[in-house]
Amino acid sequence: VLSNGKLIEFDSPQVLLSNDSSHFTLLVEQTGMAEAEYLRTLANSTESCTRQKQEIHDFDDDSALETNEMDPLVPSLKLL
């Protein structure tokens, strides 16, 4: 969040909205009750989606490591 050309807050929208006194929260509140509620819902769903994608990516990385370690076609370090 910028104010007068200066950075005053930096974090995900969900984190900023969890702080009732953040500048971002105050800006969202100024949009009106219905719009503010929509923006909060949007921030929460986006954060949840991002978290799920990261968990899938982490799982895929772990699976790839396990597969490569057991693959008989992958030369061991001793042979190199």
What are 77's two structure tokens?
């370090």
- For 34, the token pair is 């219905």
Q: If 0-12 CB within 10 Å is exposed, 13-18 middle and 19+ buried, where does residue 52 land? A: exposed
Interval 33-77: pLDDT, tens = 999 999 999 998 877 666 666 666 666 665 555 555 555 555 555
- The verdict on pTM exceeding 0.95 is no
The answer to whether the beta carbons of residues 24 and 9 sit under 8 Å apart is yes
Residue 32 has pLDDT above 90, yes or no: yes
